[in-house]
Chain A
Amino acid sequence: MQSIRQNHLPDALPDFRNLGVISRILLSVNALALLFALARSREVAEFAARATEIAVSLEPVLLVVLIVLYAGSVLLERLPYLQGLLAVFAVVLAATAALFPLQLQMGGGGDSRGLAWSLVCAAFVTGAVAWYFHLRNRAFSPAISEARLQALQARIRPHFLFNSLNAVLSLIRKDPKRAESALEDLAELFRTVMADNRQLIALREELSLCRQYLNLEQLRLGDRLRVDWRLDPAAEEALVPPMVLQPLVENAVYHGIEPGIAPGLIEVRIERRNDRLWLQLSNPYHEDYQHRQGNRMALANIRERLQLHFDVEASLNTRIADGRYEIGIAMPFRTSL
């Protein structure tokens, strides 16, 4: 059992800057409020009145709490889980107390039980939402260790390994120096692939992995492989899931370069636009070779990992335009966890 437990992540507060987390809080709190209104009303007309009454006192507090948590999320993430949780409770109670006079003015909070009652409700709702995120975290933690395994499965194709080893063998007698550096690239590539791929890494590291991979492919494909990099230096420190780009570059070679006799171009464009990171990759499209397997699997795998790390804030899209296959990934630009 020990080994299974190790797969669970320690409890952590959700990322309050994530749109998915924010919408989950909004929805669950309002759902609770409606349930509460329903429980306390005897007829339909009364339900509407109750719901309005609760909304008037609830929404301003909810809004303020979400803004404070958004602003303070960097600080909160540094605290241990229990302390962080206490801080969240403190924020909620403080906001409830601070906004209580306003509620009285607006005619809400007309409940005779006054401030104490509001505080009890707020604490109860916060506890319920925290419990929900705790459960969700538990449900997802095996998924994250699974994601690590999947990153391994999105691994380098055997086709690539054997062809590369063959290319290195062809160099050993004629150009031992180049053979050495090719083997070093190969070793480093596999070290990364076999590493623990749960944590986000700097884009810079992912790019150097891609370069090592392309060096090896260049060795065997020669002039047929051309790569055009357009990198925004401001983007290199961004945090990305490991192996988010390398499998796509590998696909670009496999589906875009290998099926052609004439030289083909792979374009990689990376940009930071405000708080978004954009990765774009394109390669020649060979209609006749679409039966070659493996593309969709890598895409599904990367999409899934993006979702695990960034929820609804990341996207991956593909399209075919002007004889080229294009992949675009957008995710939040982050430089710290």
Chain B
Amino acid sequence: MSPIKVVIVDDEQPARSRLRELLQDCLTELPHVVAGEAANGVEGMRIVTDTGADVVLVDIHMPEMSGIEFARHLQVLEHPPAVIFVTAHDQYAVEAFEVNALDYLTKPVRAARLLAALKKAAKGARLARGVLESIDTAPRRHFSVAERGRVTLVPVSEVIYLRAELKYVTLRTRAREHLVEESLTQIEQEFGAVFVRVHRNCLVARRWIRGFERGAESENEVGWSVVLEGLDEKLPVSRRQWAQVKSIAG
């Protein structure tokens, strides 16, 4: 059996180096290599996909993206690594882990507990679907987009609009388009405060709306359309949605 590949994701450098020391201590009992370490979820995702990590040690409490959100994005991968959560003190998360029988370690971490968790992870215990979503109900801060075997994380704040087209949903940022495998309805539920539905097939980010203008033709009638910040494209507002959208137009 080849040694398992471990990746460490924690925003605090001393915490990462402490985990490295402890992993070193476990080396004789469980052969492994530390494939890399990252200070945040975005970097962590890159390292995990680059190295094909088997196990990820993830701190829960990180800036920009919580450890739980990071773990959710990992599930998009074809072969997601096993996740071991690490936390200093987060009673809510710890209770949720207990309920769902997820493996977690508390800081300061003990070598013996780390070893036990690694052994369990090496056997390939996988997360059940929906467990992480139930633990962290706060809206994500990133969308995960699978492209050519890789996963790209797009910050929610950069998304200008999302439009449903046939099978996929197109996610538009100022720079480019991505395809995501989520439904508009799910997204609307999760991010109600961020996006507003302007059309049956379209959600627009409130912060990128510059104004509204008359004259666009949709479904053979002259209606309103959204003028966006940073994009020349204009999006039609359906008559049904106009009543709601109007309120933001002020």
- Which A residues lie at the B interface, using CB under 8 A? 157-159, 161-163, 165-167, 169-171, 173-174, 219-222, 258-261, 288, 291
Contacts and interface: CB of A to CB of B under 8 A. Distances in A.
Contacts of A261: 11, 39-40, 63-64
Nearest to B43: A261
Interface stretch (B14-22, B26-34, B119-127, B214-222): B14-22
Interface in B193-245: none
16 contacts: A158-B88, A159-B90, A162-B89, A163-B15, A165-B108, A166-B107, A170-B15, A173-B21, A219-B14, A220-B14, A222-B12, A258-B61, A259-B63, A260-B64, A261-B40, A291-B138
* Listed residue (B15, B90, B141) with the most chain A CB atoms within 10 angstroms of its CB: B15
B49 interface: no
B14 A167 contact: yes
Given A165-B108, A261-B63, A291-B138, A170 B21 contact: yes
B143 to A, nearest CB: 16
B100 interface: no
Interface of B: 11-15, 17-18, 21, 39-40, 61, 63-64, 88-90, 106-109, 138, 141
B107 A157 contact: no
B12 A221 contact: yes
A163 B107 contact: yes
* Listed residue (B40, B61, B141) with the most chain A CB atoms within 10 angstroms of its CB: B61
B138 A166 contact: no
Contacts of B108: 162, 165-166, 169
A214 to B, nearest CB: 15
A258 to B, nearest CB: 6
* Listed residue (A170, A258, A259) with the most chain B CB atoms within 10 angstroms of its CB: A170
Nearest to A159: B89
Nearest to A264: B63
Nearest to B13: A222
A162 B88 contact: yes
A170 B63 contact: no
Contacts of B138: 291
A260 B64 CA distance: 7
Contacts of B11: 261
Given A157-B89, A260-B63, A163 B18 contact: no
Contacts of A167: 12, 14-15, 18
- Complex A-B, nearest 10 residue pairs according to Cβ-Cβ distance, in ascending order: A170-B18, A170-B14, A162-B88, A167-B14, A158-B89, A166-B107, A166-B108, A163-B88, A159-B89, A220-B12
A167 B12 CA distance: 9
A219 B18 CA distance: 13
Given A162-B108, A166-B108, A171 B88 contact: no
A171 to B, nearest CB: 7
B17 A170 contact: yes
Nearest to A257: B63
Contacts of B18: 166-167, 169-170
A41 to B, nearest CB: 63
Contacts of A166: 14-15, 18, 88, 107-109
B12 A162 contact: no
